[in-house]
Amino acid sequence: MLEVFEEERLLERSVKIGKRVTNRMNELAASNRFSCIGEVRGLGGMVAIELVEDRLSKKPAAAFTKRWVETCARNGLIVLSCGVYGNVARILVPLTASDALVDEGLAIMVGFSSIG
């Protein structure tokens, strides 16, 4: 397994995927349209997005997170909810996913993005 990991450069791929996802989510978080994104953090292809009702109070948006995860699933994307308050979406991108597939997943996540 370690040989395949090296041969296929999966560590590099993980870093590239993580940057692609976190950069896109941070861009969205900077926009007024996506004020539900409180924080984006990650390690390689594992990214967490904290969803909040408002960025000032950082009040967890657990109900919204649940609806968002369910909507993603109905549209073919598996996202996990986690965190003490149930308001963190965890994205675990397969290291073999193409950039086009990662972009498709990002498009699904963006399709349902406002509280309410």
CATH of the domain at 48: 3.90.1150.10
CA dihedral 52, 39, 76, 107 (to 10 degrees): 110
> What are the tens digits of pLDDT across the range 53-69?
988 889 999 999 999 99
Provide mean pLDDT across the span 16-41.
91
Task: Give domain status of residue 115, yes or no.
Answer: no
DSSP helix/strand/coil, 5: helix
Task: Give domain status of residue 116, yes or no.
Answer: no
CA–CA separation, 51 and 60 (whole Å): 6
Range of the domain at 100: 2-110
Task: Give domain status of residue 53, yes or no.
Answer: yes
> What are the tens digits of pLDDT across the range 75-114?
999 999 999 999 999 999 999 999 999 999 999 998 765 5
Task: Give domain status of residue 88, yes or no.
Answer: yes
Q: Could you identify the residue written with the tokens 């498709």?
A: 104
So what's the pLDDT on residue 116? Answer: 43
So what's the pLDDT on residue 112? Answer: 63
What six digits make up the tokens of 58?
Answer: 């950082």
Query: What's the total number of domains in the chain?
Result: 1
Query: Is the per-residue pLDDT at 12 higher than 50?
Result: yes
CA–CA separation, 104 and 102 (whole Å): 5
